[in-house]
Amino acid sequence: MRHGPDIAPVAALIGDPARAAMLTALMDGCALTAGELAREAGVTAQTASGHLTKMEEAGLLVRRKQGRHRYVALAGDEVGRMLEAMMGVAAASGRTRTRTGPKEPALREARVCYDHLAGGQAVAMLRALIGREEIVEDGEGLTLTDAGAIRFESFGADLPTLRRARRPICRACLDWSERRFHLGGGLGAAVLTELYGRGWVKHEPGTRAVRFSNSGMALFRMPLGSKNRRQFIQVHPNETVP
Partner DNA sequence: CGGATGCTTCGGCTGCCGCCGAAACGTCGG
Partner DNA sequence: CCGACGTTTCGGCGGCAGCCGAAGCATCCG
With respect to DNA, which residue has the nearer C-beta, 45 or 218?
Answer: 45
Q: With respect to a second copy, which residue has the nearer C-beta, 79 or 195?
A: 79
Cβ within 8 Å of residue 135, ≥6 positions away: 126, 129, 142, 143, 144, 145, 148, 170, 183
Helix (H) or strand (E) holding 116: strand 116-118
The residue (of 61 and 144) whose beta carbon lies closer to DNA is 61
* C-beta of residue 119 within 8 angstroms of C-beta of residue 108: yes
Q: Does 14 bind a second copy (CB under 8 A)?
A: yes
Residue 27 interacts with DNA (CB under 7 A)? Answer: no
Restricted to residues 55-84, the positions that interact with a second copy (CB under 8 A) are 58-60, 76, 78-79, 81-83
The SS3 of residue 53 is: helix
- 197 touches, from a second copy, DNA, none (C-beta below 5 to 8 Å by class): none
Residue 70's binding partner among a second copy, DNA, none (Cβ under 5 to 8 angstroms by kind) is DNA
Q: How far is the CB of 204 from a second copy (least distance, A)?
A: 10
When CB distances are held under 5 to 8 angstroms depending on the partner's kind, the choice from a second copy, DNA, none that residue 2 binds is a second copy
Shortest spacing between CB 43 and DNA, in angstroms? 4
Half-sphere exposure of 205 (CA within 13 A, CB side): 1
Q: How many CB atoms lie within 10 A of CB 49?
A: 16
Q: Are 173 and 84 in contact (CB under 8 A)?
A: yes
CB of 133 to a second copy, least distance (A): 21
